Structure 1
């Protein structure tokens, strides 16, 4: 364990990854902080270390409750979680069964770099005990890297719209989903129509976001997806498009409560409320973005090689909806 602590300490940087905790389930095995002189509690343990150790343990309990939902979707284990607040971020990485690495940073402009550092270090730990590396966040996937690089330029238009015509030409009903089997496009929305449906359709991309849901309240979301697109057939050997759509809808109703609990845990270590959550599983990811006036946005990519690119697409979509 001392050798492991030495390796992890190399990651620490007061302006980067300032706090690291290695857990065996809910038990902290290694607790490290970049700051060397901090106030101590009554047991002689640094107060800041204790706060992060408790936050990571509470996060473990919250994320464990989500495991059955991902098991039902057959998307594999939850391997990486990213929590972003205005004053920093928390990373929570799966190493092997029962073992996780928690990292926290006050940085707000180096998150991709620090996230990648965590991913590389965790894969080094995995290979040291003869486990295969994992493609956390699509950082190690060439297709994912290419998409991420392309998204630094002008936003790409939806290939569904490009290949199959303008989605506005279809007619939606207020009570049922409207499905175009040829385009592989499904749109659902509540009775009141707004520009949100057009914004969601434009965000969909078979090379990135495959499902988006915009909640102005917890019960009547605007939902759009490309689950029936032929390019995505390989992702539906288990749950059907309808089953996935239903499950992500139920997760959308569940996530605000999960995020509230996460906020309570984070208040001990960071100021501000959660703005973004990434739940990265072995096959794809689920994204949550908080919006003004208690609105929120949920997105999904089914393709692990597209996780980084879909994350950026979600950020753009969130900024656009925040202005509506």
Structure 2
């Protein structure tokens, strides 16, 4: 069987050989990723794929993946500007997941992205979206490629997804390590009645997941955050207040269905289904969108880059709980 197919833009010369080699190595062997590309300002530099190696990866989709990735690269750069006012840094990683696949868009430097696609079979219910094994492994592989290419440019690693953070095994399972929020540290707004607000309040934590909100028909029903906790105050300064961040995330929560719809239209043919999960990973934390049912979704926020992945898992597990209520 032949190796991965490599396609280069007309501007790519011998100075790109190490980029091509890095991407080729990531695609060799297990065929986890079906497309891996390097894009600058919405234009393809290098694309490597294994289309034609599996029945669900036909070669006729090659141009489709490139078109989708080009649009995605451009839209992510535009979306980054919308997120800058909250002062959590650049948009460095985007994860979009459907029932049958996922796409990853990781920053190397501004307007330069590594974009990868996977396709997988339908998952049995209930699905904890972030913990689907193939989705997680592909996420880590894509961030490894993007980090390698960033280091090639003598830039410091961005800790995409928080994957570079070393963790003590089972640390979260020790009750003694769970911080107790002081009185007044937990801020709530909206309708406190019913089991869903109760479940949302259980998962916010000054260590990782700092805000959760529950939305129905594009309106916030309930929001809880720990922005007032002394352990979280280090993420605020004179340039951004707690009140300003609350207003920003409230406004963004109403915008997320439109943003996810735009992403979904770009990726529909490549992923083969409706988006269920979206992660907007910035330099200081991440924003999470999780579809629960039609016109019902959860929004989460962490301000701690080291805890992006654990916070993602918390939102995903909360989604499973809320779907069962």
TM-score, normalized by the shorter chain, greater than 0.5: yes
In structure 1, the residue matched to 2:148 is 124
Q: Structure 1 15/109 Cα, relative in aligned 2: closer, same or farther at 3 Å?
A: farther
Output aligned runs, 1:99-118, within 5 Å: 99-107=112-120, 109-118=133-142
Partner of 2:25: 10
RMSD: 2.4
Cα deviation for residue 35 of structure 1 reads 2.6
Pairing partner for 1:19 from 16, 23, 35: 35
- 1:135 pairs with 124, 139, 159, which one? 159
1:32 aligns with 2:48: yes
Q: Which residue of 2 aligns with 1:305?
A: 306
State whether residues 158 and 204 of structure 1, in contact with CA within 8 Å, keep that contact through their aligned partners in structure 2.
no
Q: Residue 281 of structure 2 aligns with which residue?
A: 280
1:189 aligned to 2:190? Answer: yes
Report the Cα offset of residue 219 of structure 1.
2.1
Q: CA deviation at 1:150?
A: 4.7
Equivalent residues of 2:218, 2:295 under 8 A apart: no
Q: State how 1:1-324 maps to structure 2 within 5 Å.
A: 1-12=16-27, 15-36=31-52, 47-107=60-120, 109-142=133-166, 145-146=167-168, 150=171, 159=178, 162-164=180-182, 182-190=183-191, 193-237=193-237, 238-324=239-325
Q: Alpha carbons of 1:157 and 1:100: their partners in 2 closer, same or farther (altered >3 Å)?
A: farther
Q: TM-score, normalised by structure 1?
A: 0.84
Conserved 8 A contact 2:51-2:61: no
Asked if the contact 2:181–2:229 (Cα under 8 Å) also holds between the matched residues in 1, the reply is no
**Structure 1 pair 21/157, CA: closer, same or farther in 2 (3 Å)?**
farther
- TM-superposed CA distance for 1:253, in Å, is 0.6
Query: Counterparts of 2:297 and 2:176 in 1: how far apart (Å)?
Result: 23
Deviations 1:101-133 (A, max 9, x none): 100112453222221122122111111121111
Gaps of 5+ in 1: 39-45, 165-181
Shift of 1:36: 5.0
Provide structure 2 residue ranges, at least 5 long, that are not aligned to the other structure.
1-15, 121-131
How far apart, CA to CA, are the structure 1 residues paired with 2:42 and 2:233?
38
CA–CA separation in structure 2 for the residues paired with 1:32 and 1:310: 31
Q: Distance in 1 between matches of 2:64 and 2:223?
A: 38
Shift in CA distance, 129/68, structure 1 to aligned 2, threshold 3 Å: closer
Contact 2:51 2:62 in 1 (8 A): no
Check whether the contact 1:32–1:49 (CA below 8 A) recurs between aligned residues.
no
Is contact 1:137-1:308 (8 Å) kept?
yes
Structure 1 residues 71 and 208: alpha-carbon distance in aligned structure 2, compared to 1, 3 A threshold: same
Aligned match of 1:177: none
